[in-house]
Amino acid sequence: MRPPGRSLGTPGDGSLLDLNLATLQLESVDLQSSRNNKEHHTQEMGVKRLTVRRGQPFHLRLSFSRPFQSQTDHITFVAETGPKPSELLGTRATFFLTLVRPGNVWSASDFTTDSNSLQVSLFTPANAVIGHYTLKIEISQGQGHSVAYLLGTFILLFNPWSAEDDVYLPSEILLQEYVMRDYGFVYKGHERFITSWPWNYGQFEEDIIDICFEILNKSLYYLKNPAKDCSQRNDVVYVCRVVSAMINSNDDNGVLQGNWGEDYSKGVSPLEWNGSVAILRQWSARGGQPVKYGQCWVFASVMCTVMRCLGVPTRVVSNFRSAHNVDRNLTIDTYYDRNAEMLSPQKRDKIWNFHVWNECWMIRKDLPPGYNGWQVLDPTPQQTSSGLFCCGPASVKAIREGDVHLAYDTPFVYAEVNADEVIWLLGDGQAQEILAHNTSSIGKEISTKMVGSDQRQSITSSYKYPEGSSEERAVFMKASRKMLGPQRASSPFLDLLESRDLRNQPVQLQLHLARMPEWGQDLQLLLCIRRVPDSTHPWRPIALVVRFCAQALLHGGGTRKPLWRHTVRLNLDFGKETQWPLLLPYSNYKNKLTDEKLIRVSGIAEVEEIGRSMLVLKDVSLEPPHLSIEVSERAEVGKALRVHITLTNNLMVALSSCMMVLEGSGLVNGQIAKNLGTLVAGHTLQIQLDLYPTKAGSRQLQVLISSNEVKEIKGYKDIFVTAAGAP
């Protein structure tokens, strides 16, 4: 039976019969998600829904009730995002079917017809707002009324593959590392004992993209003015600052609550996270309640997940001996008493053993030319920026050149890697003597994961010129003048510094480890002493008293109360070298350390004849037991993969309440947790289990075993998974 309104005749023959064509009705739409997602590098997120990147065409197939007639059938496309879509705000776009794409604007072009179907290419501009979109068409004939149809929804992301996008990164190798790789490493510990910490970013797990936009929609900017906030999501600088503020929860219902104490009983210790996915899912499932707890490496790793998911090239960076310079004077003061005990700081300034932040790659159109590329973003809540706890983006190039006047938060990041350290001897509540003025002790071994490798890469030279070089000091003075004004000819301690020569010391002191330190063993150190000529006592023997103190070193640079003291008295002839053994028993530090197992051994040496004091320091990192992870056969999607995990307790004490957690995108759905009980000293634990990989390609299995005694026994295994049925 002929549909009503359909007239006889040949459509398009120029006769009056054309006026009576049946109304064009949409019968079905194919968003071609599988093809489009693959072309847009989003297939890892799944192919059930359309996820595309801006500045790149994607394809649709529309099926109608009759053949499409381009002369008489008029189709208007409407794309909308946000709560109050507006063409003025850039959250609504209306565009028509054209033969040729008109440029960097919303368009529908390059269409072909086949029977009752229309194949069309849609293009989104490279500066479009990112977000969840609805896509509709309005069909009209001639001057008649139009009928609207919903085609479906799609997600639009930043596009680092597009030369027109502000996040364009012109290297496929770098794109694979900084956008597509869903695992990596965080570098922790101490500048001399750097440990790699495997992390599961998991940015392509199917629900993570929705959680990322949920984070944006819970920001204070969105809650204050949703339409304006959405309209600014075309700007990567704006989006980065919002995410930086939302990863912490100091101002809002952000993702993570920080905890730098030692009581994690109301949540999870920051050391016990393996990856970002569990954190983000918990935050979302609980309606946006902050997850307990995070510290810098957790904040930065979660932000890396969010930014890579949104399409911004991102990496995690660790800065060892990182300054927190609250008063912006580019100087961090630390204090010791005559018994070599490190004292609590007089100000809020501190030196973190390490601090972790992010770098995101982007063009900085808001800055003068020359500051594009890597930008520092720091979601750890250290100080406010424009009223919120966020930091960056600060151009790494601007930091290296001392251009601290450039946005955002560049002075703060510059101080983190360049501040001077002044160590004071404190007596009777007063600073009595300067023990050291270190111009190169801050900002050491700035590190990130090497591209295409599990190795660590030092990127210190990206942040500053070589320590002690004329360029480095010139940049330091340039930054000092900008931060403190032209009067910065001196700071309070410089007169004292210039009044005496800190290098003119009668004795050279060094502390060395006599053997590799292991947790659960006595520590053996050597004090190496050499008598050298000085202006006061050039050739005469001198009497020396060295008072030692050992303290647990906290992540934030502070210390606990002393756990060991010792005094050495010596007489030294000119030119004589002496080695003095020191023993720090396990019983002294057994229950006194933090989870990070770091000890600072300090010594204050006094030359009795002249009352001069000298400082000698040694930080010791105690190695936890090591995990071994092996797989017995080739990994294939959907096929059982046998994993062997071995842990030998080489400590002098049992490890109690052992808990194992496995994680790894494409290998494990969520997490696998297993209670292992107690591992007796000297015994070995062997675990076998089967995994069923769900995704092909390079994957990483992360394993964490925590106990009451040692919180962070971590291991990982890189696994290449072949597609199902691959030869």
State yes or no: 333 annotated in a binding site: no
Nearest Cα neighbor of 700 from 185, 206, 207, 38 is 185
Backbone angles phi, psi at 9, to 5 degrees: 120, 175
One-letter amino acid of 237: V
Mean pLDDT along residues 49-74: 96
Structure tokens at 221: 């900017």
Residue 13, pLDDT score: 44
Residues above pLDDT 70, as percent of the chain: 94
d(CA 495, CA 452): 50
576 against 699, higher pLDDT = 699
State yes or no: 250 annotated in a binding site: no
Q: Domains plus CATH for the chain?
A: 26-157 (2.60.40.10), 172-498 (3.90.260.10), 507-621 (2.60.40.10), 627-721 (2.60.40.10)
| Farthest-apart Cα atoms in the chain, separation | 121
Q: Are strands 256-258 and 291-294 parallel, antiparallel or unpaired?
A: parallel
Mean pLDDT along residues 245-253: 94
Structure tokens at 635: 């990994």
Residue 504, pLDDT score: 67
Nearest Cα neighbor of 510 from 525, 524, 529 is 529
Residue among 40, 41, 190, 355 flagged as catalytic: 355
Q: What are the tens digits of pLDDT across the range 302-344? A: 999 999 999 999 999 999 999 999 888 899 999 999 999 999 8
Q: What are the tens digits of pLDDT across the range 634-688? A: 999 999 999 999 999 988 889 999 999 999 999 999 999 999 999 999 999 999 9
Residue among 212, 240, 296, 360 flagged as catalytic: 296
Residues above pLDDT 90, as percent of the chain: 78
Using an 8 Å Cβ cutoff, are 637 and 724 in contact?
yes
d(CA 324, CA 39): 44
- Whether 480 shows a pLDDT value over 80: the answer reads yes
State yes or no: 471 annotated in a binding site: no
Residue 718, pLDDT score: 96
355 is catalytic: yes
522 is catalytic: no
Residue 518, pLDDT score: 83
Residue among 182, 378, 403, 619 flagged as catalytic: 378
State yes or no: 522 annotated in a binding site: no
Residue 444, pLDDT score: 97
- Whether 498 shows a pLDDT value over 50: the answer reads no
324 is catalytic: no
pTM of the model: 0.94
Average pLDDT of the residues of the chain: 91
- Return the sign of the alpha-carbon dihedral for residues 557, 558, 564, 565: positive
Q: What are the tens digits of pLDDT across the range 7-25? A: 323 344 443 344 457 899 9
Residue 633, pLDDT score: 85
560 pLDDT tier (thresholds 50, 70, 90): very high
Return the minimum-mean-pLDDT range out of 199-208, 676-685, 706-715.
706-715
Instruction: Kindly report the length of the chain.
Output: 727
Using an 8 Å Cβ cutoff, are 700 and 720 in contact?
no
575 pLDDT tier (thresholds 50, 70, 90): confident
- Whether 513 shows a pLDDT value over 90: the answer reads yes
Using an 8 Å Cβ cutoff, are 245 and 254 in contact?
yes
Return the minimum-mean-pLDDT range out of 186-190, 282-286, 569-573.
569-573
Mean pLDDT along residues 75-83: 97
- Whether 96 shows a pLDDT value over 70: the answer reads yes
- Whether 535 shows a pLDDT value over 70: the answer reads no
Residue 406, pLDDT score: 98
Residues near 472 by Cβ (< 8 Å), separated by ≥ 6?
A: 464, 465, 466
Q: What are the tens digits of pLDDT across the range 121-148? A: 999 999 999 999 999 999 998 777 899 9
Q: Is 85 exposed, middle or buried (0-12, 13-18, 19+ CB in 10 A)?
A: buried
